Every structure is written in C-alpha cells, then in structure tokens.
Amino acid sequence: MHNKILGVAIAATFSLQVGVASAVGLDNVTITTHAGTGCVNAKQIGVCVLGNDNAPHSSFDNVTGGNALVNVPTGGIVYAQELFDGDGPPKLPNSDTKMAAIIYTISTLTNITEQLNVIVSLTDGVFASKPKLAVSDTDGNFTDLPIDIAGSVGDNSFTFLVDASASKPLKDGDQLMLVYQFQKAASLAGENGTVALTVEVKDKATGGIVNPTRTVTIASSKQAVTTEIKSEDAGNIEISVSDDSKKFIGDNGAFINATTAQIGYLKITNVGGAYESDGEQLFKIGEGTDGKIKPGSDTEGSKLTITKGQFAASKSSGGKVYLNDAPEVTANSNDVTDTTAAFNLTDTTVSQMSDKGDLGIRLGVDGTTVIGPTSTEENPPEAALLIDFDQDYVRFLGSTDPVKLRQIYQDGTVCLVYLVPSTAVTREKVNIRVTNDSNVDGALSGKLYKENGDMIGSASLGDITKGQTVVFNADSLGGLFTTWDQTVDKRTVLEITSTLSSIEVLSLMRNQADRGLLTNLSTGATGDACN
C-alpha cells in the first residue's frame, strides 16, 4: 500500500504540472488523436478509442449506444461568443444525438482494488443532461456503465461508483470515458472565458485520493462576427448650386459621379475559428442554425437605418440609397423619405455582404430633384445597425450608438433671412439687400419656408454682377414665389443660394408706425448671414 500511495503521489506531481488546458492522463476525445483505421479495439491500445465513425469501441460502446461523439480539440471547443445571451444555448454541444467526451487514463504502479468514487465537476456552468461514465480495462472486466450515486441535471458535479476489486482491478493504462453536455456557463459570454472539467478518483470508504486529480479545458469562446460603420472622409464633394442643386461636384472619395455620392461604409466580418452551439459547424452570419437572422420588417428584425439623411432626390425612380455590393443591396423604396432610409436585411444579404471589406453606403440622385435637405441642416446623417438572430440565445449585433456619416454641403454660398414679413403685416416692412462682393458675376436662387419649416416654393432670384447690390421686399418676393399666400403665411424664412464664393446679405426692417426705426436683422452686424 505504501508503494501504491507513493506511485500515485509521483504520478499526481507530474500530472498537475501540465496545467488546465490538457493535463497528462485527461484528454478531450478528438478524432485526430483518438480515432483511425487501426482503432478496432480499445483494450490495450492507449489512445485509440474511436473508429472512423467517431463512435467509441469496446466497453465504451454502451456510453453512447453506438452514436458518434462530437470532436473536441485538445484545447476544447471554441464557441462563438455571440451564443451566450442570457443563459445561452440549452445544451453544449447542442445536439439530440451527440455528446462530447473526455478520457481519463489510470496511472498506477500497483493495481487498484477498492470501490471508487469518481467525481466529475465543471468549473463553470452545470450539466444539461445526465453525464455517463464508462470503463475500458485491459482484462475486459468492466462491461456495464458505473452508476451515478450523486448529482442531478442542473448540478455542476456528478459522482459515479466504480466497483474495482481484487478479482476486477483497474490497472495502469485503463481508461474512463465521460460523455457530457453542459449549459449556463456565464464566462463564455465574455472575453477569454473557459470551462474545464475536473476528475477526482477517491477511495469510497476513506475519501482518500487514489489516482491524480486532473483538469482539462473543454470549451472557450471568442467573438465570431464583427461589424463596423464609419464615415467616408476622403475626397471632395459638394452639391452643385450651378446645377440648381440637383447634382454633385467633386473629386475622388465621396464623389463617385455627378449623380452618386458615398457617405460611409459598412463592414461585416466573420472572424473565423468559432463554432455554433453544436460544436461542429463554424459560426457564420446568415448561415447554419445559430447564424440565421430574423429578416427586417417595418417593425422588427435586422436592419441598417440611416437618419438625418439627404435623400429627397433619391427616393423616386432614378434615385436610390444603396450599399455598393455585387449585387447591390438597396434600401426599401417604401422606407426612404427625405431624411431616412432603411435596409431590411436577410440571411441572403448579410451572408453576401460579409467578408468583403468596406462596402460603400451610397446615395444615387435622379438628377431632376433638388438634393436635400441641403447643408442648412445642422446635423450630419447617422447610421445604426441591428442584427437580430433567429435563436433567442444568440445576442444581437450592431452599433449601440448611431455613427455619423458624411454630410454634403452646397458649393457657392448659402444665406438665411430668418424674418420676412408678408405684405399683410402692416407694421413691418422688410428690405433685403444682396451685394456681390466678389470679383466675378454670378446667379442667385432662393427657397421660401413657412414658420413650421414647410417649403412654400423655390425660385430664381436672377443674376448679380460683380459689385452689384440687388434689393428684395415682400412685394418683389411675392412675384417670384407665386405659391406664397401672404395673407396666410405672414412670416417666413428665406434661403438665398449663390454660385458665388462670397456675397453679403443685409436684412433691414422698418417700423412703419413711426417710419423712423430701421433695424438690421442680419445674423451679423455687417450682414454676415452666409455660409
């Protein structure tokens, strides 16, 4: 007995130095190291316990009923981190016919002839189904599965009774196979989470250690899919005022052509190396079982949404908001407004778009509609991505905060006059003076808005030569903006745009009550109301 204890102590010393990932004498059952054409009988064949069908041989047969096992690499199965929303999958591996397995190899100088408690414990999570233990020994004495004497589904530990005796001993090299499924491993939801299995072999009567306690990593996790949205910051692009703000002008980057602009990028990447909950299929977005997504709809599902956009010229025939892919992924026509665009995503589209690098977020304009809202909008467009998976235990992907995209400004100059009373306002009379302080001739155009922001109409305000000052009042504006009902919309906002790089706008208001008070209502004291 002294020699036996000494031998066990020496074996334990060497075993425990190896570490958790793969302790000597405790291994994950893997096709690479435990199977092959020569695996006919597990007896007296150290690691060869599986056939080409990945099903256990010999007395291990009973442990799976002849079914195959899931291949568990030496370092454990790497599951997709996305699988672990809430409690995660109902079981790992998530299969109704396959389980995973570990092999514990007896290392002893003398035969073990005591009744043993074999205790198997998870470092994280609980057993999702009843684990089973089988013994394969040199003499073929162990043909029945050991019974479990402690543990229930939902526990993190089970104890099995192995009835060794003088007539039925366990010898050096004999093996124990445990098949298992687990769940609720919270660590796998985070970075570098791991789950390990520990096996203890104890004397049932005394509780003493009979063979080394060993631990092996059976699972870890990593992020399987990454997404990124970013702005297009390269190149020059503007809305061409000389083209009545219906086309683009620029070069490179954001400028694709006169009717196409690129305002940002979407990138979806399958990182690789992480598996679905079955432990056999790589996790890829839009594919398999766990990677399938809920298709986008008006109220739910997976979608890319852009707000505060400039889509007035992109929502009708000849225009579009789309992702530059092959084939293109276009925003739903019924989900495009002047300022919003929604892409309802499907398994097909996300699978198609993944692993292609940066895909351009683009707007195509029809060339006949004013591009807008124009640069008078203070806030740039924003994009948000939500990918919702079919399986409830798979957590959603996407940006938690909207990402700002490229805002496109008009070339030339844009000026605002914030208070323009109509002729129906008898007390106040507006006088708007526009001066061309550049050294070239140009043209003026305008838009008139109601107090609530609705546009009354647009009109040409005529040409303006270098050094010239032109004057507008309620009467002249009424002739230009024929849709202005001055009896209804008594106070308006005038937007003046010009092809010129520099103009000055003075907005002067006279109080008709005393005919003496002339007030400068321009943004700046010198009439700097322009951008």
Domain spans in the chain, listed from the N-terminal domain onward: 2-222, 226-410, 413-520
- Determine the Cα–Cα distance for residues 426 and 280; give it in Å rounded to an integer: 81
The DSSP bridge partners found for residue 178 are 102, 133
Q: pTM here? A: 0.78
pLDDT at position 15 is: 37
Q: Could you tell me which of 103, 106, 121, 115 has the C-alpha nearest to residue 178?
A: 103
Q: Are 387 and 295 in contact (CB under 8 A)?
A: no
* Cis upstream peptide for 89 (omega within 30°): no
Helix and strand numbers (H, E) in the chain are 5, 34
Residue owning tokens 């991505």: 385
- Determine the Cα–Cα distance for residues 196 and 22; give it in Å rounded to an integer: 10
Residues 6+ apart with CB under 8 A from 463: 441, 442, 443, 444
Q: How many CB atoms lie within 10 A of CB 91?
A: 19
Q: What is the DSSP letter of 247?
A: S
Q: What is the DSSP letter of 151?
A: -
Residue owning tokens 């789950």: 195
Q: Are 425 and 475 in contact (CB under 8 A)?
A: no
Q: Could you tell me which of 119, 115, 68, 118 has the C-alpha nearest to residue 93?
A: 68
Residue owning tokens 């949404």: 305
Report which residue type is found at 271. Answer: V
pLDDT at position 279 is: 97
* Cis upstream peptide for 373 (omega within 30°): yes
Which segments of the chain have a pLDDT < 50? Answer: 1-23, 41-45, 376, 524-527
**Which tokens belong to 256?**
């694709």
pLDDT at position 530 is: 64
pLDDT at position 6 is: 41
- Determine the Cα–Cα distance for residues 243 and 240; give it in Å rounded to an integer: 5
Residues 6+ apart with CB under 8 A from 400: none
pLDDT at position 41 is: 47
Q: Could you tell me which of 275, 297, 287, 266 has the C-alpha nearest to residue 351?
A: 287
In CATH terms, the fold of domain 413-520 is Hypothetical Protein Tm1070; Chain: A (2.60.290)
**Which tokens belong to 75?**
């370092």
